[in-house]
Each structure stands twice: as C-alpha cells, then as structure tokens.
C-alpha cells in the first residue's frame, strides 16, 4: 500500500509531467529530455527515501545463489521437470517461496535463451535475398524451354 508521502510524490510527478508536455508539445526533443530529467530526479528522490529502511531486504538474500543453481541445471534451453522440482525444494531450503523460485527460474531461462539464440544470418532456412534470383532463373528457364520447343518443330 502506498503511503501518504508516496501518493503526494506521485501526484507531484504527474502534475510536473503534464506541465512539461504542455510547454514542449511542439518540441519533441526538448519534451523527451525534460521528461527524462524529471524521471531521473524522481527516481533519485524515491531511491533515497526508500533506502532508509522502508523496503528493508533480508541481510542474506539467497536469490543470486539460487539463480546460479538454476543456471547449472539447465541443459541447452530445457529444464527437465524433475530438475525443476528439485530446484523448487532447494529454493525452499534457502527461504525462497515457490512463487519467487519459479520467477527466478523463468528469468534465468529467459537470460540463457537470449544467449543461445543464433544470429539472424546464421540460421538455416530460406534467405529472402535469394527470391529475386530464383524468380529470374525460373523465368529464364521457361523462355529457354519455349525456344527449345519451337526449334524442335
């Protein structure tokens, strides 16, 4: 739940953003830069306010350890169901809820999946660049076939 100070900060931020959109409505570059500066200032103030203990995390956060365990268990892009169950139990032993453990597993799979994606030019399959060449060769073959038919008669 948001505190009264948080609601005030959000209201102030939205009010300032609306004012900037109004002032720089015909200057998109200046609008973007102004909104970026406003957002950065808001983030710094928000981070300072919450770093004083509003969102205190446990002194020993085991999510990084758990993420390393997950990364070691994934073979290629697949995590077998039996290994997932074992990882969920390991996460529970580390004090990570089943929900958060599943989120960490999904995040690691996503990160590893991006790393193992082949480059766009390295995959096998049809290249759209060859389409005009193929079309040209088919048309030339039809013309040659027609000339050959006429020459034989």
Would 148 be classed as within a structural domain?
no
How many Å apart are CA 116 and CA 78, to the nearest integer?
12
How many Å apart are CA 79 and CA 71, to the nearest integer?
9
Would 12 be classed as within a structural domain?
yes
Residue 110's domain comprises: 63-115
Would 123 be classed as within a structural domain?
no
Would 91 be classed as within a structural domain?
yes
How many Å apart are CA 88 and CA 78, to the nearest integer?
16
pLDDT value for 124 = 56
How many Å apart are CA 32 and CA 14, to the nearest integer?
15
Stretch 77-97: mean pLDDT = 88
Would 69 be classed as within a structural domain?
yes
How many Å apart are CA 9 and CA 6, to the nearest integer?
5
**Band of residue 120 on the pLDDT scale cut at 50, 70, 90:** low
**Band of residue 114 on the pLDDT scale cut at 50, 70, 90:** low
Same domain, 100 and 67: yes
Helices of type H across the chain: 4-23, 28-50, 63-73, 81-93, 98-115, 131-152
Would 145 be classed as within a structural domain?
no
How many Å apart are CA 30 and CA 35, to the nearest integer?
9
pLDDT value for 153 = 72
Same domain, 67 and 46: no
Percent of the chain exceeding pLDDT 70 equals 76
The pLDDT tens digits for 16-47 are 999 999 999 999 889 888 888 888 888 777 66
Would 152 be classed as within a structural domain?
no
């Amino acid at each position: 739940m948001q505190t009264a100070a948080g609601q005030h900060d959000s209201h102030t931020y939205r009010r300032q953003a609306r004012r900037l959109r109004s002032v720089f409505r015909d200057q998109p570059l200046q609008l973007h830069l102004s909104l970026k500066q406003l957002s950065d200032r808001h983030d710094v103030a928000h981070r300072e306010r919450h770093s004083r203990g509003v969102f205190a995390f446990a002194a020993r956060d085991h999510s990084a350890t758990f993420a390393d365990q997950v990364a070691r268990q994934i073979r290629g892009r697949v995590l077998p169901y039996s290994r997932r169950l074992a990882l969920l139990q390991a996460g529970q032993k580390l004090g990570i809820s089943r929900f958060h453990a599943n989120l960490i597993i999904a995040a690691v799979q996503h990160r590893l999946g991006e790393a193992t994606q082949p480059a766009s030019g390295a995959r096998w399959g049809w290249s759209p660049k060859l389409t005009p060449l193929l079309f040209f060769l088919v048309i030339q073959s039809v013309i040659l076939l027609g000339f050959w038919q006429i020459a034989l008669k």
